[in-house]
Amino acid sequence: MSKPITDKAEVSIDFPDKFYMGSFGRGSRYDITADDEGIHLHLDRQGAEKRHVGFHVHYYLLADMLQAMGDAIAKVDKLEPQHRARLLEAVSRWKALD
């Protein structure tokens, strides 16, 4: 079930002879599902400029990415308090894996 994007996502793909860039804002939606191999993330933008992006990320890469995200975010000096609170709330959901 897709959910509205509450902030913004930007995607860029740079091939040797092509470059694609798109944004997904508050009028867009996302969907995340999981299977035995990893997660599937889909971003959808409706309207005049329709866009769809899909990713399938396997669990070892997802774990590496989550760790790297935590390390990168920990280095942000002026993280907005509301962003920090929302991130901590989201991370607390991972306890369901135990």
pLDDT digits (tens, 9 = 90+) for 53-86: 999 999 999 999 999 999 999 999 999 999 999 9
Indicate the pLDDT class of residue 48, thresholds 50, 70 and 90. Answer: confident
Give the pLDDT mean for 80-97: 86
So what's the pLDDT on residue 47?
85
Nearest to 11 by CA among 31, 41, 36: 41
Among the listed residues 30, 37, 31, the one whose alpha carbon sits nearest the alpha carbon of residue 9? 30
Confidence of residue 97 (pLDDT cuts 50, 70, 90): confident
Contact 46, 26 (CB under 8 A): no
pTM of the model: 0.83
Token pair listed for 51: 């866009």
Q: What string of DSSP letters covers 75-98?
A: T-TT--HHHHHHHHHHHHGGGGG-
pLDDT at 78: 93
Q: What is the mean pLDDT of residues 23-44?
A: 96
Q: Compute the distance between CA of residue 24 and CA of residue 45 in angstroms, rounded to an integer.
A: 6
- Whether residue 98 is predicted with pLDDT greater than 80 in this model: the reply is no
